[in-house]
Structure 1
Amino acid sequence: MLELCSEREEMLTVDEDEAMRKLNSISELSLEEFHALDERLGAALEAAQMFRELKLSWQRAQRFGISGGDMRVAYREAGKIPGCRVVLGDRLQSITKQRAYGALSLWESIRYRLVEMRHNSLDEVEKRKSSAYLQVYAAILAAACPTVYRAILQERDALLAEELKRCVSEPLLTMESPRGRVAVGVVGMNHVAGIKRAWNSPPLSPEGRQKLLAVPPKLPRQMHALGVMPAGWLLIGGKFLLKLLR
């Protein structure tokens, strides 16, 4: 089972050189050009958040390579095992983003961006190879913006654990294994602790699962319009603002 969804499946066969070229072209866009390019974003706050994420993705790719390398290796290795089936166990990325950012209040958006600016630099990304650091970051995110924390970590941990349990309980292999049914989950380090907790918890009910797959109503357009100004402040003058807050 891979920590991917059907919307990110192309990551498994991505041409890394082509992906670098696409990220480079996006990194040269302005926020206004990016928002106009993808009309599906609609809300200015959501567009600003995704724009910043793509900029960071480009910087990370230059330093660490295209993301998803661990998933591509797992996918290739699974293909060498006769009868092995690859399962995409994550919730759709579009649902996760809408649950995380679509219903944020103005002040939650500001707090979240401040946390991201403090903890999402290239040096901070390097620190995320430590499970101890990830626990600290998760606690900070949960305190500053519980809506984002629940959508990005808690809810997905529960769904990933349920999918992994299903892989163990259902006969996914087409041939007998001397060790019985074997399921392997390949997930990011930040999901390991949460999946362990969810593994030992009562299973999700059908209603509980549907609740985690539902898309919450978005804030009124007036609230999104009010978010344009603070989003701009944080994208342009965030470092200065952080110094004032320290």
Structure 2
Amino acid sequence: MGSCNPSGANKLQFILHDVCLDHVINHDVRRRIEAVELDVACTRDGSLVVLPCAAALEKESAFVVATTNEIHALDPKMFPPIGVVLDKLSELGFSVILDLKARLNEERLFASAIQEASRPSLLFVSYNHRLVRLLAEFRGEESCGIIFAGLPVDIPQLSRRAGASWVVMQSRFLSESLCQNLRESNMHAMTFSARTTERLQEAISSGADAIMVDYEIAKSLPFRGDLIESENSE
């Protein structure tokens, strides 16, 4: 996926969602995906850590543990510092999408910490519109995406207001016309995780530019040299 910004590319971009690092090291999977997605939280003392995958610890529980403790009190194998993980993924040649789990009113602390840990090719996504706006000011809109839980009336307008060039949402809310509308506004669409083959086909048919997939689905994807042509190029 390079910089996580497909500049007019007509290939689907596949992203491994909710990463367990041992999955990423799997050579076969590494040949099938372009990027990985990590959930990131800010500790009580302002350090960024990667949350464990759901298979290791339930997400809400992981978030509470990370945000109510200082970094020295956390198990570094369960909650590794973000820099350690980014260095490892860089060695493996992956681009990275960071899903930023920020509480309300901690946006500036989070944005400041991100600046310290940042890498050139990161894409930041979040439900927190104020955090996305801050990061867009630091890094540029092409580095930011906004997550929508539902289907707002005017997605392009809300995304521009937040300073985002990526829209992340469930594939059932996307359509070829909406994705085309986003591209005409210099934006891109990414779907939430496809956990079944049915969801994968739904995501492909939606016209999205990038699709998050779970590990089991990632194992069945074509190799990167034979990526599926996006239907929106037809």
TM-score of the superposition, structure 2-length normalised? 0.27
Structure in which a larger fraction of residues adopt helix: 1
Larger radius of gyration: 1
TM-score of the superposition, structure 1-length normalised? 0.26
Structure in which a larger fraction of residues adopt strand: 2
Return the structure number with greater relative CO, CA threshold 8 A, min gap 6.
Answer: 1
